Amino acid sequence: MNTDTDAPRGVLHQRLAEGEFQHVRRPPSPALADLIEHYWYVSWDLRDLPAQQQETLPHPNVQFVVEPGSTAIYGVHTRRFIRPLEGAGQVFGIKFKAGGFYPFLRTSVSSLMDRSLDPAKIFGADAARFDMEVSASDSIDAMSSAAERLLLAHRPPDDANVVRVSTLVAGIAADRSLTSVEQLAVQSGLTKRSLQRLFNHYVGISPKWVINRYRLHEAIAQLQAGAPIVWTELALQLGYFDQAHFIRDFRRLVGRSPAEYARNEGRSRN
């Protein structure tokens, strides 16, 4: 288990202004690939430097985050996540596939929206042992192996809806032309009402929210790439009726306009 997956999306600052910052990922074993998206590891070293702020956009995934003093399982977070970084530190995480945490929770994942859960409620005493094992590890591979042991020991029975919903969400992420729930209903053969129930129960958020977030992730990726942008064309590509609605949604989630974000990212690359 030593191959990085593709570059992470949704990280608003790809590098810190000063100091060292590392973000790497590892895929799960085939035995857990239906439930787990990947394992991730973030570390930073800002000793003798001013604190800096890292921001990430939300994903439609439950995350099990191991960090000294604040280990928890987090439901879908609907706003951008803002984290001040100072000194030196590290965080390890398990990113469940969309729908992949439902078999562990066994109740609607929407109950975790913008909330956290004590891992002991799912994994019992093994949660504390896993926390200590990760804290004592010196590499993402060792941490990922510990996560594999924990998850395999508590693996729930197969649920066909997990594969169904994770496939739908993966399709939304990959298909830039999919910009409405109506399109998703046609592709899936489900009614809009059935999609709403399925996503609420298994993903923890609505299909409309998932589509909107992935289209904004696409906008961020294009801005980070530094290519010339025609804002009206980008807005239409992402399914917006006009540029004003796109800018409004972008500013609400990212905290600044697309043009401001592009200028700031351009400076950070120089």
pLDDT in tens, 22-64: 889 999 999 999 999 999 999 999 998 888 888 888 899 999 9
pLDDT value at residue 75? 97
**Which segments in the chain show pLDDT lower than 50?**
1-5, 267-270
Q: What is the pLDDT of residues 92-126, one digit of tens each?
A: 999 999 999 999 999 999 999 999 999 999 999 99
Count other C-beta atoms under 10 Å from residue 67's C-beta.
16
CA–CA distance, 9 with 108 (Å, rounded to integer): 26
Interacting residues of 243 by C-beta distance below 8 A, sequence separation 6+: 231, 232, 235
pLDDT at position 142 is: 97
Specify the pLDDT at position 224: 84
Report pTM.
0.90
What are residue 85's DSSP bridge partners? Answer: 52
- Cα radius of gyration rounded to whole Å, the chain: 19
What is the structure's pLDDT at 267? 46
Domains of the chain: 20-153 (no CATH), 160-269 (1.10.10.60)
